[in-house]
Structure 1
Amino acid sequence: MRPGAGRPVSRPAAADPLAPLLDLPGVRDAAEGARTGIDRLLRHRLMRNRSAEVSTESALRGARASAALEGVDVPLADLRAGRVEDPVVQGALRTSVALGSMQDTWSRAPGQVLARLHVLAAADLADRAALGRPGAHAGPRLGALLRLVTGETTVPAVVLAAVVHGELAAVAPFGTADGVVARAAARLTGITRGLDPKAVSVPEVGFAELGRAEYARALDGYRGGQPDGVAAWLVHCARATEHGALEGLAVAEALLRG
């Protein structure tokens, strides 16, 4: 018998396709800054027994900010009081509130989750037959993204979330409410990959605070696919995440004051 017969053949581990992103200018430092900001939020004393209250408020503020990035800016007080009927805002709110129920499924069946997110986000914006159905144009690129979500990667969660966000926004698989879906999927990635397991930060507010114009410019750079553009998008997402952690701290402090 030849040596090794009967034993399984050892194969080298597949290379992490996202690992090179950390070597792009500014990305590693920006990711570390985002992680530091989230960790500070998670150490807040309110997280010991009242994190669910912060998460609930975070979902509301995140929905408002996501709709604002789509051009529909409404007062937070009106949204909290249920006085807003705009379909974009309502879609953003439905997706934000539903993320908790999707955490277990996202890493196993992300395509199923994306379909559900689109149904929630675009229920009042698209024909019922089109809800949850990505267009043929999205095929290969969307499939590659889904494999990244279900696969193993060593990059920080904020980087993977930025890739999920950028790919979905760039490809626009559904044709309606793609931005809302992209931001919800990115947030879900951060939650399930351990960046913000309590869902208490508000990254959508971070993007809104950095400005719609800057958001659009950074996303255009990512769409272009050149290293500098991709790096700028990843850094932008990390900065927004850091701002979102500050928003979570503001929520926690407000709850402490009553």
Structure 2
Amino acid sequence: MGANNADTTTDPLAPLAELPGVAAAVDAVRKAVDGVYGHRVMRRRSPEITAEAALRGARGSAALAGADWALEEVRRRSDFGSEEEARTVGAALRLTAEAGQLLGVWRDSPLRVLARLHLVAAGGTVPHDTVGRPRLAGESVTEPGLDGLATPAPGAEAVAARLDALSRILVRGPGAPALVTAAVVHGELLALRPFGTHNALVARAAERIVLIGAGLDPKGVTPSEVGHAEQGREAYLAALDGYASGTAEGVAGWIAHCGRAVELGARESVAVCEALQRGAA
């Protein structure tokens, strides 16, 4: 399992795999993911593990966005439109469900997928003419969950240019390991904050799409959102600021942070497998 075999000599993300600590993070992630896929329960009941990973991933993403609900509360609720936290949880659940349907489109048009993800997350909660499109000049970001970031969001012109560059890299087919590509997509979206709202939920869903689509986690059973939440919001924002700084140390630290998130997501699914094996879940 791993990223595709595109020519790394033409991939601007490939040098990131050579940063200190990144190769170790990539290896640790591969071992953790292999541990899930090699579990005997996974071999017999993978749809159940996939469904449970999606639920737990959505709960983790919502928790980082300020709606830290118990897993059983997320599982039992059916009304997600009554108040702000419920809407956040509902958006996270919808995004996780939508992500698996967009893999084919992502390969050809990542920007279309990002627009769709924002529509799924924000539709009905923000002005209609702002849904599914990047910010225009003069429009600001309103996202309390990202208020702790030290690096300000760039202006609309810079956002458009960097999104276009990212899209061209992804369509060409990165040769970098899947973890590196997923971390860059996640980090770039939060450094840019291209939408007026819901950037963090969209970025974590995009990371999920990359991990699945690149072949590292084709069944979606290592929910990195769980790991991001487990490491905590403060560590998440600090690592993001490191990425946004553009320094080699900061970018490497962010990739390692994302790698740890995938490892923790894999550990969560192994625990689910063990519970199923015992007949406890």
TM over 0.5: yes
Deviations 1:162-215 (A, max 9, x none): 000000111011121100000000110000000100111111011111111000
Point out the more displaced range, 122-131 or 204-213: 122-131
Cα deviation, residue 84, structure 1:
5.6
Provide the alpha-carbon RMSD of the alignment: 1.6
**Alignment-derived partner of residue 16 in structure 1:** 11
Aligned 8 A contact 2:8 2:175 in 1: no
The one of 215, 221, 224 aligned to 1:194: 215
Runs of 4+ in 1 over 4 A off after TM superposition: none
**Alignment-derived partner of residue 62 in structure 1:** 57
TM-score (norm 2): 0.84
Give the structure with higher Rg (CA): 1
Aligned 8 A contact 1:125 1:176 in 2: no
Cα distance in 2 between the residues matched to 1:106 and 1:174 = 18
Structure 1, gaps ≥5 residues long: 1-11
For residues 1-258 of structure 1, the aligned pairs below 5 Å read 15-82=10-77, 85=80, 86-136=86-136, 137=156, 138-258=159-279
Aligned residues: 247
Point out the more displaced range, 82-91 or 16-25: 82-91
TM-score (norm 1): 0.91
Counterpart of 2:211, as a letter, is G
Cα deviation, residue 132, structure 1:
0.6
Counterpart of 1:149, as a letter, is L
Cα distance in 1 between the residues matched to 2:266 and 2:89 = 22
Cα distance in 1 between the residues matched to 2:229 and 2:216 = 20
Structure 2, gaps ≥5 residues long: 1-6, 81-85, 137-155
Percent identity between the two aligned chains: 49
State the structure with bigger RCO (CA 8 A, min sep 6), 1 or 2.
2
